[in-house]
């Protein structure tokens, strides 16, 4: 039996593109010998001090709550429960179009059988040091001119590669998901490869 290799993805629950990538990775897990592990980054941390449009500034202010709660859950219950919470949050945010706030956080925590009082972390700075450390661990290898998703994985030669993306919609399923994974690893593992991009012509498709 082939040993599964760890693939780490950093997410902010607010990002619809990261959500789609995460669902794709869970498909990849079914058709390739990989184990997906989720970690928290923060768009609010990433964008501190930047000159942003007012509407995006408001979103970044609201964005502190979900990532603080994610870190609180990870510290109390571990990575597997964090992954379940991410699914609950993403389902409510991106599929349910629920408004960001305490009600959403309590609902997501309840969905996965956690203490709703963990939502108190949203308004506390208690977990900010750990949040920043998790964010830094994910972003350090890829730099600060990208957002989320960020993925760290063993490349074709076994050495770790880290990259932003892929940005896809909708998420491929089954073997199509596996083939995309194979291709992403191939280009990401090529020394000196930095960018492959085209204009996005459609928004996120959640299916």
Instruction: Judge whether 76 and 48 are in contact, CB under 8 Å.
Output: no
pLDDT beyond 80 at 21: yes
pLDDT in tens, 63-119: 999 999 999 999 999 999 999 999 999 999 999 999 999 999 999 999 999 999 999
121 near 68, Cβ under 8 Å?
A: yes
What pLDDT, on a 0 to 100 scale, did the predictor assign at position 94? 97
The pLDDT > 70 percentage for the chain reads 99
Q: What is the pLDDT of residue 119?
A: 98
User: Is 93 within 8 Å of 14 (Cβ atoms)?
Assistant: yes
Give me the numbers of helices (H) and strands (E) for the chain, helices first please.
7, 4
| Paired tokens of 67 | 């990532």
Q: Is the dihedral of CA 14, 17, 12, 83 positive or negative?
A: positive
Residue indicated by tokens 């995006």: 56
d(CA 94, CA 172): 18
Q: What is the pLDDT of residue 1?
A: 58
> How sure is the predictor about 51, in pLDDT bands with cuts at 50, 70 and 90?
confident
The pTM assigned to this predicted structure is: 0.94
Angle at which helix 79-90 crosses helix 16-31, to 10 degrees, equals: 130
Residue 200 CA from chain centroid, whole number: 20
Average pLDDT, the chain: 95
Cβ(170)–Cβ(195) under 8 Å?
no
Q: Give residue 157's pLDDT.
A: 85
- The answer on pLDDT for 38 being more than 80 is yes
> What pLDDT is stored for residue 203 in this prediction?
92
């Amino acid at each position: 039996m082939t040993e599964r290799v760890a693939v780490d993805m950093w997410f902010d629950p607010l990002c619809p593109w990261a959500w789609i990538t995460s669902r794709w990775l869970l498909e990849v897990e079914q058709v390739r010998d990989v184990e997906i592990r989720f970690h928290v980054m923060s768009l609010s941390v990433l964008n501190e001090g930047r000159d942003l449009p007012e509407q995006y500034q408001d979103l970044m202010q609201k964005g502190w709550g979900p990532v603080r709660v994610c870190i609180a859950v990870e510290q109390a219950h571990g990575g597997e429960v964090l992954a379940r919470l991410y699914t609950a949050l993403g389902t409510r945010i991106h599929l349910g179009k629920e408004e960001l706030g305490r009600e959403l956080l309590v609902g997501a925590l309840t969905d996965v059988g956690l203490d709703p009082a963990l939502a108190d972390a949203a308004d506390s700075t208690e977990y900010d040091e750990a949040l920043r450390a998790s964010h830094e661990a994910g972003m350090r290898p890829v730099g600060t001119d990208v957002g989320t998703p960020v993925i760290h994985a063993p490349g074709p030669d076994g050495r770790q590669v880290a990259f932003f993306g892929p940005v896809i919609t909708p998420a491929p399923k089954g073997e199509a998901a596996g083939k995309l994974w194979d291709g992403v690893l191939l280009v990401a593992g090529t020394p000196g490869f930095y960018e492959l991009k085209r204009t996005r012509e459609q928004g996120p498709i959640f299916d």
